[in-house]
DNA sequence: TATAATTAAATTGTACACAATTTGTTTTGC
DNA sequence: GCAAAACAAATTGTGTACAATTTAATTATA
């Protein structure tokens, strides 16, 4: 009855098509790629755009807090924030209460960028052709997955 | 009736919590991070592991074909394949019919790695605590999303 | 209260990821 | 049959992403 030529070997679990991680990885990359032409007009990379979304909600934040929100560490955020500072979208300075803490704060120019950025989600929605219920279901499942892997 | 202090401004679409792309990006990264301890035992990075999964299904493949399967270009694959060659999991050589084409082929050592790798999906399943139906729904939605963004 | 432990960023080193360009080969069109 | 177009990898340059280590500041404790 057992026949290795049919599907059903011990190696089936190693097939790309049987992985959940692969479409997750690929879809994430492909979606981010689609952002590029829209974000270029704002002089932002995708990671910088994520950071700016935080600054538009909250004028200033520490690297640690920002890292907790974006699932990124200082090794990634330090250069990202330096780039945003170069573009004058934020300023970086040490906290007076605790010199270990770096506080990044949005500038006028950064605030002004928001009015251009507000077009991006609409433009992106055209690229991602999912029904609203499907998008909602996907959103929910992704956050459930994210929650389930926090150690 | 309109009041900018309540939710419902034009800027709501720019909130992280209203993005589908963010949990996609974050979940992808967090899942890949969880692979690391398991893949270290195989001396593989996540991208190298994806490539090896292809080689375990198909002994040899061109860079172009591999790129189409993994959504990666030669700029990414060239160094990845060079690393796999250094570890002696694959060989790289030009096609005789068409010298432009590079053919990567799995070695005995690469084949042997499969028996160790077969443990990885089971070990990972413990980290990702989704119900089978949820995982299936997520899988389906991710492939639908992926299909919907191919230009 | 001096020192040890802890903490927050920055730094270092490795490995992608991708746009854009280059190099070498093959195919097309005239 | 040969120049032009197309093609496949490789290369170059920029920007993450993250583990591990370092540096500097703060807190805890003996």
pLDDT of residue B139: 98
CATH assignment at residue B53: 1.10.10.10
In a domain, A39, yes or no: yes
The answer to whether the CB of A151 falls within 8 A of the CB of B47 is no
pLDDT of residue B7: 66
Cα separation of the two ends of chain A: 41
3-class DSSP state for residue B102? strand
> Which residue is closest to B111 within chain A, CA to CA?
A11
The average confidence (pLDDT) of chain A is 94
Under an 8 A CB cutoff, do A16 and B53 touch?
A: yes
In a domain, A2, yes or no: no
The answer to whether the CB of A16 falls within 8 A of the CB of A22 is yes
In a domain, B27, yes or no: no
Chain A residues 95-124 with a CB less than 8 Å from chain B: 114, 117-118, 120-122, 124
Q: How far apart are CA A131 and CA B30, in angstroms?
A: 26
Q: How far apart are CA A23 and CA B138, in angstroms?
A: 9
In a domain, A4, yes or no: no
In a domain, A14, yes or no: no
For A45-60, how does the pLDDT look when each residue is reduced to its tens digit (9 = 90+)?
Answer: 999 999 999 999 999 9
pLDDT of residue A8: 78
In a domain, A3, yes or no: no
For A5-38, how does the pLDDT look when each residue is reduced to its tens digit (9 = 90+)?
Answer: 556 799 999 999 999 999 999 999 999 999 999 9
Report the percentage of chain A scoring pLDDT > 90: 91
Mean per-residue pLDDT for A127-148?
96
In a domain, A9, yes or no: no
Could you say which residues of chain B have pLDDT below 70?
1-7, 151
More confident call, A67 vs A3? A67
What pTM value is reported for the model?
A: 0.94
Chain B residues 34-63 with a CB less than 8 Å from chain A: 34-35, 46, 50, 53-54, 56-57
pLDDT of residue A1: 45
- Phi, psi for residue A142 in degrees, rounded to 5: -65, -40
For A75-103, how does the pLDDT look when each residue is reduced to its tens digit (9 = 90+)?
Answer: 999 999 999 999 999 999 999 999 999 99
pLDDT of residue A151: 60
pLDDT of residue A117: 97
pLDDT of residue A7: 66
Give the domain extent around A144.
Answer: 20-148
The reply to whether A68 touches chain B by the CB within 8 Å rule is no
Listed as own residue / partner, the contacts of B45-51 with beta carbons closer than 8 Å and 24 or more positions apart are: B45/B80, B45/B83, B46/A25, B47/B72, B47/B76, B47/B80, B48/B80, B48/B83, B48/B84, B49/B117, B49/B120, B50/A16, B50/A22, B50/A25, B51/B77, B51/B80, B51/B81, B51/B84
Number of domains in chain A: 1
In a domain, B20, yes or no: no
> Is residue A139 predicted with pLDDT exceeding 90?
yes
């Amino acid at each position: 009855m057992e026949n290795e030529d049919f599907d059903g070997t011990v190696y089936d679990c190693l097939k790309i098509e049987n992985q959940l991680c692969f479409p997750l990885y690929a879809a994430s990359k492909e979606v981010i790629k689609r952002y590029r032409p829209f974000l270029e007009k704002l002089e932002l990379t995708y990671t910088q755009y994520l950071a700016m979304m935080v600054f538009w909600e909250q004028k200033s934040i520490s690297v640690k807090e920002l890292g907790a929100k974006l699932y990124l560490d200082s090794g990634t955020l330090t250069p990202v924030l330096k780039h945003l500072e170069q573009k004058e979208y934020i300023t970086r300075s040490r906290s007076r209460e605790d010199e270990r803490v770096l506080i990044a704060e949005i500038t006028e120019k950064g605030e002004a960028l928001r009015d251009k950025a507000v077009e991006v989600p609409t433009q992106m929605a055209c690229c991602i052709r999912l029904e609203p219920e499907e998008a909602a279901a996907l959103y929910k499942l992704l956050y459930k997955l994210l929650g389930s892997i926090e150690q």
